Amino acid sequence: MKVGIILGSNEASKVTYAGIHSLIETSLDNEVVLFATMDGIKAFLKQPDLKREESSSKLIVEKEDPFQYIRKAKNSGKAKIVVCSYATKLFNLNKDDYSDVVDDIEGVTSFELEIGDGKIITIW
């Protein structure tokens, strides 16, 4: 099954949760497409902009790498990370501004067509 995860936040705890969920789904032999949009794209910049407002976010950033689970999911070969083309334009960014974990820039329509009848999870 294909699983789409829409990440609309750059809050460290939510980025970590998206990674954990990606890793769980790939461990269950599902394909995952993590679609970062709006503030979520800021987490995937070469110099990530992560919010640390929640107490859990402060602990995560102090004690572990928020991207470790995303990297593990990607290493499975069953996960890809895409960033929203609209948000990329909105923040005047381009492909070179993103970290190497990002596979592509695409629109929400392409993302939804790729997921098809799979499930979509949103994290805001």
Range of the domain at 30: 2-123
CATH of the domain at 48: 3.40.1260.10
32-90: pLDDT as tens digits: 999 999 999 999 999 999 988 767 767 776 777 889 999 999 999 999 999 999 999 99
Beta bridge partners of 34: 5, 81
- Per the structure, the count of domains in the chain is 1
41-53: pLDDT as tens digits: 999 999 999 988 7
| SS3 of 26-72 | HHCCCEEEEEECHHHHHHHECCCCCECCCHHHHHHHHHCCCCHHHHH
